[in-house]
């Protein structure tokens, strides 16, 4: 039978609840338990695909083509698993299901209410996840902060779940903040006390508190929190600042979190193995070399928009023994003042990540031209692939005004055009070419050397693609399309053979990078950058 760990958040958002939840999973996994993890997002959007990354950070794409919250990235990276669309429950999804059922007359005669109809649907969706993957433990993270109106129906459903299944089968872990007042360095417990009180007010007593702090929690702070929040001192876990998120499971396990959870859920440890992970973290912390890479993006002020790319660069860097230092270049600034292209001087690699829309695109194209002409290793992802083709069409083929139809409807040379199946789509949510798609790599190319095989699967999220009418002309001038999909109809990778390193992908390899299994394209790019750095 599956046991449930519910992870709630208190005091404020952005505490790294997703990392904490993933770290709990990592600890339990290292003890030989089968772990699954899912997330409840209490917003009304059915999925986060159409949300502005300024608000929520990047959109994570699952293997099965679902646009998920970035916490899914933490789950997949920590647990090295592939998580599907059914693992995200949103208010929108729950209400949509209940309302559709109501319209079909399935509640005939009843008054449809939040309790029991919405709460029952929440429980049903959770039980269904457990039924399909039958893990020993299903971790359920609830987005948002306790006390929000939005999360109330979910917390009520989970309270009922604990009641129905017993304390030894459903436990609550509350992630909160313990701020420090600078002048004295005193750790303040009151916000946590209030947030626990809030939870208790709706009938939930947390079993364990995970406290985000700057410095490790002092013994006296733990004692005070235990006393006021009605838990034992052992149940108060310090989640203080660490150099890398991958260290979080280690510091929490050092405080006995794993055994504590097992005892509460009456589970037994089957093995104990975190060695490889610990070695990885040690390696990450002791990297001596450094390689500087420019990331040219539109939301560089909000690093969360590129979290998976940053992590994938870090995985690859660690593998090669180098710390990747990122120089953030804001494409809007570059576009407004092309002389700023000199901001790229001295970097050993240039990466243009995925993106949408006209604003900033000319800035990115300038950066690509700089990389191509100066022989600096270049890596384009999705939009960065499309813009590389545009740059090449304009500046090498001399096709003036070449562009993507997304950016200029009336371009004389639409080298990037709408996917045919996208032409009649009016609805926006979840309608892109999404998820893992198989591709075929041509032998003897850089792409083939990078992957070491011809058949691979990578995750996609796009609406536009290379216009087939231009492929021959582009290839004649020395850019090669080295990977294709859909029976050769679609261009998936491009490279410039007489450039030191120039490789771009229509897909997003960052979603498949794991700390112990870096993505091949990231490995190759970082390696090329290190080669240049070392001269
Ligand atoms: N805007 C481009 C498209 O829709 C690229 C998308 C992306 O970079 N994810 O095709």
Atom of ligand 1 nearest to the CA of 432: 4
The residue among 56 and 413 whose pLDDT is bigger is: 413
Predicted local distance difference test score (pLDDT) of residue 304: 78
Cβ of 297 closer than 6 Å to ligand 1, yes or no, is: no
pLDDT(199) > 70 = yes
Cβ of 461 closer than 6 Å to ligand 1, yes or no, is: yes
What does the pLDDT look like over 282-327, one tens digit per residue? 999 999 999 999 999 986 666 778 999 999 999 999 999 999 999 9
User: How far is it, in rounded angstroms, from Cα 252 to Cα 235?
Assistant: 11
- Report the relative pairing of strands 170-177 and 3-9 from DSSP bridges: parallel
Under CATH, which number does the domain 288-534 receive? 3.40.50.880
Same CATH fold assignment for domains 3-279 and 288-534 = yes
Ordered DSSP codes for 298-364: S-TT-GGGGHHHHHHHHHHHHHHTEEEEEEEEEHHHHHH-GGGGGGGTT-SEEEE----SSTTHHHH
Catalytic annotation, pick one of 362, 492, 510, 527: 510
Predicted local distance difference test score (pLDDT) of residue 495: 98
Task: Answer whether 92's CB lies under 8 Å from 43's CB.
Answer: yes
* The overall pTM is greater than 0.95: no
Q: Identify which of 43, 39, 41, 129 has the alpha carbon closest to the alpha carbon of residue 76.
A: 39
Structure tokens at 6: 């519910």
Predicted local distance difference test score (pLDDT) of residue 302: 65
- For the chain, domain boundaries: 3-279, 288-534
Predicted local distance difference test score (pLDDT) of residue 55: 65
Predicted local distance difference test score (pLDDT) of residue 74: 96
How many Å lie between the centroid of ligand 1 and the Cα of residue 378? 18
Atom of ligand 1 nearest to the CA of 381: 8
What mean pLDDT do residues 25-47 have?
94
Ordered DSSP codes for 210-258: EEEESSPPPHHHHHHHHHHHTS-GGGEEEEE--SSGGGHHHHHHHTTHH
pLDDT(49) > 80 = no
Task: Answer whether 261's CB lies under 8 Å from 24's CB.
Answer: yes
pLDDT(412) > 90 = yes
User: How far is it, in rounded angstroms, from Cα 47 to Cα 435?
Assistant: 15
3 state DSSP class of 125 = helix
Please confirm, yes or no, whether 426 is among the known catalytic residues.
Answer: no
Atom of ligand 1 nearest to the CA of 353: 8
User: How far is it, in rounded angstroms, from Cα 306 to Cα 47?
Assistant: 19
The phi and psi torsions of 337 (rounded to 5 degrees) equal -140, 85
CATH class of 3-279: alpha beta
Catalytic annotation, pick one of 76, 87, 508, 533: 508
* Positive/negative CA dihedral, 403, 407, 412, 413: positive
Size of the chain, expressed as the number of residues it contains:
535
Task: Answer whether 258's CB lies under 8 Å from 30's CB.
Answer: yes
Where do we find the tokens 């269904």? 128
Helix (H) or strand (E) holding 133: helix 119-133
What does the pLDDT look like over 346-370, one tens digit per residue? 999 999 999 989 999 999 999 999 9
Predicted local distance difference test score (pLDDT) of residue 144: 86
């Amino acid at each position: 039978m599956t046991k449930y760990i519910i992870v709630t958040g208190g005091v404020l958002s952005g505490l790294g609840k997703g990392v904490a939840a993933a770290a709990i999973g990592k600890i339990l996994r290292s003890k030989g338990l089968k772990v699954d993890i899912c997330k409840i997002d209490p917003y009304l959007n059915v999925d986060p695909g159409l949300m502005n990354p300024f608000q929520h950070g990047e959109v994570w794409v699952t293997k099965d083509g679902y646009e998920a919250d970035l916490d899914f990235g933490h789950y997949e990276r920590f647990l090295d698993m592939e998580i599907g669309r059914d693992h995200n429950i949103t208010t929108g999804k729950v209400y949509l299901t209940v309302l559709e059922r109501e319209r079909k007359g399935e509640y005939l005669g009843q008054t449809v209410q939040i309790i029991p109809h919405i709460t029952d649907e929440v429980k049903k969706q959770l039980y269904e996840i457990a039924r399909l993957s039958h893990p020993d433990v299903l971790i359920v993270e609830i987005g948002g902060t306790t006390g929000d109106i939005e999360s109330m129906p979910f917390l009520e459903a989970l309270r009922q779940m604990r009641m129905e299944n017993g304390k030894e089968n459903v436990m609550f872990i509350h992630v909160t903040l313990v701020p420090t007042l600078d002048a004295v360095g005193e750790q303040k417990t009151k916000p946590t006390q209030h947030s626990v009180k809030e939870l208790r007010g709706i009938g939930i007593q947390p079993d364990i508190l995970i406290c985000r702090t700057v410095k490790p929690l002092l013994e006296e702070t733990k004692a005070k929190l235990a006393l006021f929040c009605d838990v034992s001192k052992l149940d108060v876990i310090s989640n203080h600042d660490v150099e890398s998120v991958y260290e979080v499971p280690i510091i929490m396990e050092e405080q006995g979190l794993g055994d504590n959870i097992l005892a509460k859920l009456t589970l037994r440890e089957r093995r104990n193995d975190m060695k490889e992970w610990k070695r990885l973290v040690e390696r990450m912390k002791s990297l001596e070399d450094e390689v500087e890479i420019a990331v040219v993006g539109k939301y560089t002020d909000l690093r969360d928009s590129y979290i998976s790319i940053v992590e994938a660069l870090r995985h690859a860097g660690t593998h090669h023994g180098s710390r990747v230092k990122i120089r953030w270049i804001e494409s809007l600034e570059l576009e407004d003042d092309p002389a700023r292209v000199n901001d790229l001087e001295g970097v050993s690699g240039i990466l243009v990540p995925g993106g949408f829309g006209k604003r900033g695109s000319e800035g990115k194209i300038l950066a690509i031209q700089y990389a191509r002409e100066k022989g600096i290793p270049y890596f384009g992802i999705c939009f960065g692939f499309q813009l590389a083709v545009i740059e090449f069409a304009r500046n090498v083929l001399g096709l003036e005004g070449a562009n993507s139809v997304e950016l200029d409807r009336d371009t004389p040379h639409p080298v990037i055009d709408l996917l045919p199946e996208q032409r009649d789509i009016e609805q926006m949510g979840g309608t892109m070419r999404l998820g893992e798609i198989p591709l075929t790599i041509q032998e003897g190319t850089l792409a083939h050397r990078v992957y070491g095989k011809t058949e691979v699967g990578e995750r996609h999220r796009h609406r536009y693609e290379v216009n087939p009418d231009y492929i021959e002309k582009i290839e004649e001038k020395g850019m090669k399309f080295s990977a294709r999909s859909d029976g050769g109809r679609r261009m998936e990778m491009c490279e410039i053979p007489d450039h030191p390193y120039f490789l771009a992908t229509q897909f997003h390899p960052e979603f498949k990078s794991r700390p112990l299994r870096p993505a091949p394209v990231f490995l190759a790019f970082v390696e090329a950058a290190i080669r240049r750095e070392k001269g």
